[in-house]
Amino acid sequence: MFAERDDKSIKGKLIAVEGVDGSGKSTQLYLVKRWLESEGVKVFFTEWNSSVIVKKASSKAKKRFLLTPTTFSLIHATDLADRFERQVLPLLQAGYIVLCDRYVFTAYARDVVRGCSPAWVRNLYSFAVRPDITFYFRVPLEVALSRILSGRPKLKYHEAGMDLGFSTDIYESFRAYQERLYAEYERLAKEFNFVVMKADRPIEAQQEQVREIIANRMDLASYRWLTRRGGPPVRGPQKLAAG
């Protein structure tokens, strides 16, 4: 299901956040990144569907409605594989804390809702290592829906699950799609022992709890940049960090 992890070569830590759209997970991860940077920690951020190589192709395919459930799954797996091999794994080996805004569990949920075999999807992503911490931001579905629908003037076709035929009305389709994703995430949370966050609480309260969990589970001092006596921090390989 996950790649075997060589703790001798992987010196860093991997933190992932998951949740339905509107759960607030991206905001929380951004705040974590800023916090770790302020602490002088070597940190790298990556997000779902952001590979430079794959993103243009996937965007074009979505606009032309060319993706079947299988090709939808394959193209996102390619995206993560590219980022994993070029960024995530090298930086873990270099002793970074890597932050992932969505990881393999997003595919475990979305692709299954789209009709792919759970076993097939998990095998497809078996190149990836298991995160050290996976935060799941659980929020009442109505709260998540109101956040999304009030913040976006127009929903995207695949975002709303229109390719699945739940409804011809894009808002009803979005609701039906998110309901199914929510159910999948609830199952995954139990199976993979996610750290479950109550995402309807104030942002500050959630962030305080997230930081406390990270600080308790990781020796952050061991991931800080080296410093010269009386001088600025010694920065690591900038080309590697930039991906």
Q: Where are the alpha helices (DSSP H) in 152-217?
A: 170-191, 203-217
Residue among 96, 105, 141 nearest 125 (CA):
105
Mean pLDDT of the 199-203 span: 97
**For the chain, what percent of residues have pLDDT higher than 70?**
93
Residues 13-221: name the CATH superfamily.
P-loop containing nucleotide triphosphate hydrolases (3.40.50.300)
Beta carbons of 139 and 18 less than 8 angstroms apart = no
Residue 217 has pLDDT above 60, yes or no: yes
Q: What pLDDT was estimated at residue 8?
A: 83
- Is residue 227 very low, low, confident or very high in pLDDT (cuts 50, 70, 90)? low
User: Residue 198 — φ and ψ, nearest 5°?
Assistant: -80, 100
Q: Band the pLDDT of 73: cuts 50, 70, 90.
A: very high
For residue 45, the surrounding DSSP H or E stretch is strand 43-47
Digit-coded pLDDT (tens) for 30-58 = 999 999 999 999 999 999 999 998 888 88
Lowest mean pLDDT among 56-60, 186-190, 216-220: 56-60
Tokens of 104: 């393999």
Using alpha carbons, list the distances in angstroms from residue 60 to 2, 56, 65, 75, 83.
Answer: 30, 6, 9, 12, 19
**Domain range list for the chain:** 13-221
pLDDT of 242: 33
Residue-wise over 211-231: b if at least 16 C-beta within 10 A, else e?
beebeeebebeebeeeeeeee
Q: How far is CA 35 from CA 14, 67, 207, 214, 224, in A?
A: 16, 39, 10, 11, 12
Amino acid sitting at position 222: S
> pLDDT class for 199, splitting at 50, 70, 90?
very high
